[in-house]
Structure 1
Amino acid sequence: MPGLTRSRPLPRRCYVVCTEVPPGVVGGLGRYAERMLPALRDLGVPVEVFGAVGRRLPARTERDGGLTLHLLPTPGQPGPSPAAHPPEAAYPPQAGFAREAARPQGVLRPLVRVAGLLAFNVRVAARILRGGRSGAVVAVHDWMGCLAGILCRLLGRMPVVFHVHTCEHNTAPGARRTAVTAGITALEDAQARLADLIVVPSASMRDQLVARGWPPGRMRVVPHGFEDPELVRLAGLSPADRDRLRARVRARYLPGGAGRLVVFAGRLAPHKGAHTLIRAVPSLLRDGDELRVVLIGSGDRAEVTRLIEREGVAGHVVADCRFLDPPEVFAHFLAADVCAFPSTYEPFGLVAIEAMALGRPVVVGPGYSPEVAGDGAVRCRTGSPEELAAALSRCLDDPGHAAGLARRGAAHVRARYSWARTAESTLAAYAEVAR
């Protein structure tokens, strides 16, 4: 990366505060850390990461070349979820706080998690402040590391970069404002005022935060990468192997594998669009035609079941309400005639990028930033079932349109996104503030 080193000196060390790190990958933040941290390490700057693990796990430090990972036991922090693939950028720690705080019986759990995160942040700040400060940058990921960033900025005068991956707790349509979410918002605002730079994954998220009063001059848009090893492997399959995999998955849902298959992946929360997709199904049905809409992801099973029954589409919608591991999720994308991600709030939307990378036609909701999917996906302008049904119908009924969309999507992803590029842009942001 010679251009970067000529323009600005690189930081001597990066301290990264990211509560969810491997092996405890349970959400989008963990998936980001899993891919991003090694890419950052490979650019030659020592990276020291502080992550939170369940309190039953021992504290430990792991080293891999220039990457040092400190795992600190933290009350209320979920443990690792083996082979879990939470479909896209849901960031369960934030969503979980909001949901639990909204229920009377869930008051104790979020309080334990808040107390645990406070203790985690204080411990992390103390360790960073005892370490080398000269030429170092502190990178804070989401509100869960804000207190550590604030303490390092105020007590150590260290440069801080605030990575904001989502503001789902107060920005997503229908988000409920509670005492916990109000506290999270205040913490974010305080960190935003003190941060030297704020990094977000899309232009739409930047615009939302600027409208909230955050400083536009200190905002940087750095998109995420997409390359998962299994996804790359599947994308490189021969046509014959791809057809065999598609046939295996389709046979689970369609008699003899014949018919039309629509796949959704994401939490079954209203703003992710699963409910809109269910309501769109009656408009997709044709006499004598087999149609299956498969919903991959966890959520309120009872609410989804009631909606499926109310719409009269029980024979056409499959909702397992569970996570699948990455190979199975990607295999479902490959098997689909069209993938649907009709979110009304989506800071980046990695699942859509993954499906596009696999050469599948994709329809996304109005929550996607226009530049994220570009011309490689159909972006609905509203969250209405009617518009979604029309977009899906065209993909299902017009093979030429679907094939062209798939080609443009794959080309868009490969030209625009990679973890190596994300790491380079991130390090360039750190170099701006290193001193």
Structure 2
Amino acid sequence: MPGLARPRRCHVVCTEIPPGVVGGLGRYAERLFPALRDRDVPIEVFGAVGRDAPARTERTGGVTLHRLRTAGQSGPPQGAVGALVRIAGLVAFNVRVAARILRARSGAVVAVHDWMGCLAGILCRLLGRVPVVFHVHTCEHNTAPGARRTLVTAGITALENAQARLADLIVVPGAGMRDELVARGWPRDRLRVVPHGFEDPELVRLAGLSVDDRDRIRAEVRARYLPGGAGRLVVFAGRLSPHKGAHTLVKAAPELLRGRDDLRIVLIGSGDDAETARLIEREGVGRHVVAGYRFLAAPEVFAHFLAADVCAFPSTYEPFGLVAVEAMALGRPVVVGPGYSPEVAGDGAVRCRTGSPGELAAALARCLDDPEHAAGLARRGAAHVRARYSWTRTAEATLAAYAEVAR
């Protein structure tokens, strides 16, 4: 678009890239890079793939994606040896990428995403005096409630702090994370808030369907969990880890089930599967809580959101929370945890103030029992998301941030 500030060229270091999408960083990459394709800025993305994946380069529009084979990237690390292999692979990946960027000497801005790309950013800044933008998507390894302090997390924190000191600019997805990092001693004047978008092609397709077609999809999903498709459905999607709130939802189930025998709670995701299974058994809610212990493809997740009477994302730590934004965009009532920044959900979701099962159960119960309240929440949520978030705006704001530091 004419008149907007643009960097001349960008190198992007983002370890998780499509099609190997398993977490929030991959979802971000999957949506942002297409939004950057036609912005008249050459962008080279360097991503890490497992040894069993093809190492290839592909170009679409102005974005060139380099997939570099990297040890330890084929799945979750298995034990101490697997963790060491993964770390060694990431170090080698960062050194290779930094060497390629420094050899290019193209006057580009380097953008690194989370701690996995910090070493490349630090090398480019120190050895080539290249301007660096540091994207921080999460600090859950040392900030999320219950996060364990280990030598590895201490090393990650030191790496992040070093990159923050050297970066020309730091980009975060929400005001809550900005304030968290300022409290950690990072420079407020170099922090920029750039929210994510919400549009996924399948989500946009579902949102645009007729009422009859949406009802048909809802009925198909609900029939999998509710006898005869009749009853009420609560859906959670995310990692099964304490700070994502899945355990809080299971603990809230006994109270929520009182007088609601037709209720089913569906947990979509994986993580601490064994502890989640033990908790379901201990709470005695196995007949009503369905956990598949696996991640689903985005279209399936969206279909579940559409089928839900209410979606629950009770995170105690959540820098942005794309799943809640997506559920709101589909016009579903949403309840989020205290980890969500207030501005992310606005008045379009119920935000619990604590991480207590009792408060969560009460918020979900009101959505289930008060159709007028639930419908109003759904309308406000959809309006809030569509007025505030889009990947087009995210792409423009991202390039504007890069242009600030371009030399």
TM range (shorter): over 0.9
**1:57 shift after superposition:** 3.2
2:4 counterpart residue number: 4
Q: 2:141 aligns with which of 166, 169, 176?
A: 169
Instruction: Report what 2:189 is aligned to.
Output: 217
**Structure 1 vs Structure 2: percent identity of aligned residues?**
84
Which residue matches 2:94? 121
1:70-81 mapped onto 2 (5 Å cutoff): 70-78=66-74
Deviations 1:150-192 (A, max 9, x none): 1111111110000001111111100001111111110000000
Instruction: Report the CA distance between 1:74 and its aligned residue.
Output: 0.7
Deviations 1:297-345 (A, max 9, x none): 0123321122112112111111111111112111111111000000000
Q: Decide whether the 8 Å contact of 1:368 with 1:379 is kept in 2.
A: yes
Residue in 1 aligned with 2:17? 21
Q: Do 1:54 and 1:75's aligned partners in 2 also have CA atoms closer than 8 Å?
A: yes
In the other structure, the counterpart of 1:53 is: 49
Q: CA deviation at 1:17?
A: 0.5
Q: Does 1:131 align with 2:104?
A: yes
Cα displacement (A) at 1:289: 3.6
**Equivalence for 1:90:** none
TM-score scaled by structure 2? 0.97
Question: Quick one: distance in 1 between partners of 2:193 and 2:112?
Answer: 16
Tell me, in whole angstroms, the C-alpha distance in 1 between the residues paired with 2:211 and 2:331. Answer: 12
- How do 1:350-429 residues align onto structure 2 when only pairs under 5 Å count? 350-429=322-401
In 2, Cα distance between equivalents of 1:289 and 1:72: 51
The alpha-carbon distance between structure 1 residues 367 and 288, as it changes in their structure 2 partners (threshold 3 A), is: closer
Read off the aligned partner of 1:4 and give its amino acid letter: L
User: How far off its partner does 1:414 sit?
Assistant: 0.4
Query: What aligned pairs does 1:186-225 form with structure 2 within 5 A after superposition?
Result: 186-225=158-197
In structure 1, the partner of 2:269 is 297
One-letter identity of the residue aligned with 1:335? A
In 1, are the aligned partners of 2:111 and 2:135 still within 8 Å (CA)? yes
- How many aligned positions are there? 407
Q: Distance in 2 between matches of 1:65 and 1:204?
A: 34
Matched residue type, 1:24: G
Cα 1:313–1:192 change in 2 (3 A) is same
Decide whether aligned partners of structure 1 residues 287 and 31 sit closer, same or farther in structure 2, where only a CA change above 3 A counts: closer
Classify the secondary structure of the residue corresponding to 1:122: helix
Is the 8 Å Cα contact of residues 222 and 233 (structure 2) preserved in structure 1?
yes
The answer as to whether partners of 2:38 and 2:61 remain within 8 angstroms in 1 is no
**Secondary structure in structure 1 of the residue aligned to 2:213:** helix
CA contact (8 A) 1:395 1:402 kept: yes
* 2:83 aligned partner: 110
Q: In the alignment, does 2:219 pair up with 1:247?
A: yes
Mapped partners of 1:321, 1:141: distance in 2: 28
1:275 to 1:434, Cα distance in 2 relative to 1, 3 A: same
1:83 alignment counterpart: none
Following TM superposition, by how much is the alpha carbon of 1:288 offset from its aligned partner in structure 2, in angstroms? 6.5
CA-CA distance at 1:3 after TM superposition: 4.4
Gaps of 5+ in 1: 80-95
What letter matches 1:155 in structure 2?
L
Corresponding residue number in structure 2 for 1:329: 301
Contact 1:76–1:116 (8 Å) recurs in 2: yes
CA distance 1:171–1:65, change in 2 (3 Å): same
**Conserved in 1, the CA contact under 8 Å of 2:337 and 2:353?**
yes
How big is the shift at 1:58? Answer: 4.2
Partner of 2:233: 261
What is the DSSP-based 3-state SS (H/G/I as helix, E as strand, rest coil) of the residue aligned with 2:49? strand
The amino acid across from 1:282 in the alignment is P
1:73 is aligned with what amino acid?
Answer: R
Match of 1:278 among 250, 261, 267: 250
Distance across 1 between alignment mates of 2:115 and 2:271: 23
On the 8 A contact 1:202/1:348 being kept in 2, the answer is yes
SS in 2 for 1:15: strand
Q: What is the CA–CA distance in structure 1 between the aligned matches of 2:12 and 2:257, rounded to whole Å?
A: 50
| Deviation at residue 234 of structure 1 after TM alignment | 0.6
Report the alpha carbon displacement of residue 30 of structure 1 after superposing the two structures with TM. 1.2
What amino acid maps onto 2:84 in structure 1?
A: L
The structural deviation recorded for 1:4 is 2.1
Asked if the contact 1:133–1:158 (Cα under 8 Å) also holds between the matched residues in 2, the reply is no
Alpha-carbon contact 1:268-1:299 (below 8 Å) kept = yes
- Compute the displacement of 1:347 (Å): 0.8
Q: Is the 8 A contact 1:339 1:360 kept in 2?
A: yes
Question: Does residue 43 of structure 1 match 2:39?
Answer: yes
Report if the CA contact (8 A) 2:238-2:270 is conserved: yes
1:68 and 2:41 are equivalent in the alignment: no
| DSSP-derived class of the 1:225 partner | coil
Q: Report the alpha carbon displacement of residue 56 of structure 1 after superposing the two structures with TM.
A: 3.2
**Deviation for aligned residue 1:233:** 0.5
1:312 aligns with 2:284: yes
Which ranges in structure 2 are unaligned for 5 or more consecutive residues?
Answer: none
Q: Per-residue displacement from partner, 1:39-83 (whole Å, max 9, x unpaired)? A: 12221100011111112334322112221111111111126xxxx
* Per-residue Cα deviation, 1:344-363 (whole angstroms, up to 9, x for no partner): 00011000001000000000
What amino acid is the match of 2:80?
V
CA RMSD of aligned residues (A): 1.3
**Is 2:36–2:62's contact at 8 Å kept on the other side of the alignment?**
no
Deviation at 1:255, TM superposition (A): 1.4
CA contact (8 A) 2:37 2:60 kept: no
Structure 1 range deviating more: 160-169 or 124-133: 124-133
